[in-house]
Amino acid sequence: MPGATDTKPTKPLKNPCNLCQSVRAILKRPKTGQQLCKECFFHVFETEIHNTIVDNKLFNKGDRVAIGASGGKDSTVLAYVMKLLNDRYSYGLDLILLSIDEGITGYRDDSLETVKRNRDQYQIPLLIVSYKDLYGWSMDDIVKEIGRKNNCTFCGVFRRQALDRGAIMLNVDHIVTGHNADDIAETVLMNILRGDLPRLQRCTSIITNDTSEDSSGIETSKILRSKPFKYTYEKEIVMYAYFKKLDYFSTECIYSPNAYRGHARVFLKDLEAVRRTAIVDIIHSGEALSASVQANESTKLPTMANCTRCGYISSNELCKACLLLEGLNKGLPQLGIGHTTKIRRMHEAANLASGLSSPVSLSSAVADGSAEEKVKVVTHIKDLGQLETMPTLDSV
């Protein structure tokens, strides 16, 4: 017919994105099984984290927030997404990167270079705090002393306190960490396997707020901690970092293969291979168990006070970090791990057998310069004034 135009039938799009239907899908979400294009994946990934932040009311406008930055995939994506969402939704947050240098040669020194690049890429200030400056020991020193067994116990205790110390230096209101859904599910499994039900409440809470009492007996609030990635799968974080071409450090800690957590991780991956919702199902189960444990007075966590040596929050007279440091400095690295009381008694018996009326204290050994005790001058932060020698935002 005159004026008619030939039109070729369009071929149906092969494997279209489940959301936009206009672009070919290039990935399958591990969490839901949806087949998505790259842009739709970015959208749902970022929107889910935004909804987690808003639904749980993690921040208040004007909050000064420290991002725990290790240079790994989780913290790098966290820093990128926090800045993105802060700008997109006008959270009004003042963001700062806070890194802990554990002193692991060939691992942490390299990953901190990644953090420094992230600082420049995202234009977020950075503070680095080291174990060596805080405690007088690096993780390399500790491993030489105790071997490769229980080293993750030392690192975990010291890192948690170091983050708080760094946050105090920065005068922040809030610390966010890159703990993802896999990490939380693993911790739930570990606590159940250990029979440590009281700690389920802490590990399943998206936001925690330790409290202690000051010298007048008035309860004081500590810095808030939260996990915006609580329901975000590790595989999706890796996919996001890959497609966004983010700069992150991917080498595993050289001391972590011996960690107990590794067994829970292998078990969890086997479960996920059979049932993709296993990770979030375990988290929800942990939340339900936590609620029942919380209602039981006999299984509640102990009341928090302050460590008599360093002033840090603790449920005992000495905080865990001080106890571990005492063991290191006295050549008793097992002090604070496992049967602490038994090891203390053995040490006291050895002192008495040597003709000492009482155990040699850490402070007296330092004062006397006793070489036999092999103590180091730096045992802990007893006064925040000692932090004046730490790097500042301007010097890093």
Q: Which residues are annotated as a binding site for ATP?
A: 68-70, 74, 100, 178, 183
In the numeric block, which tokens belong to residue 311?
A: 């002033």
Alpha-helix runs per DSSP H in the chain: 38-55, 73-88, 108-122, 131-135, 139-146, 151-170, 181-194, 200-204, 234-244, 261-274, 278-295, 320-329, 340-353, 362-368
Tokens representing residue 382 in the block: 């007893």
Asked if 89 and 81 touch (Cβ cutoff 8 Å), the reply is: no
Q: Rounded to whole angstroms, how far apart are CA atoms 363 and 357?
A: 16
Contacts of 8 (CB under 8 A, 6+ apart): none
From the CB of residue 261, how many other CB atoms can be counted at a distance below 10 Å? 15
Give how far Cα 172 sits from Cα of 25, 148, 169, Å: 42, 35, 8
Q: Please enumerate, by residue number, every residue annotated as part of a binding site.
A: 68-70, 74, 100, 178, 183
Residue that is written with structure tokens 């970090």 in the block: 321
**Tokens standing for 18?**
């489940």
How many helices and strands, by DSSP H and E, does the chain display?
14, 12
Residues 6+ apart with CB under 8 A from 69: 75, 76, 78, 79, 97, 98, 99, 115, 118, 126
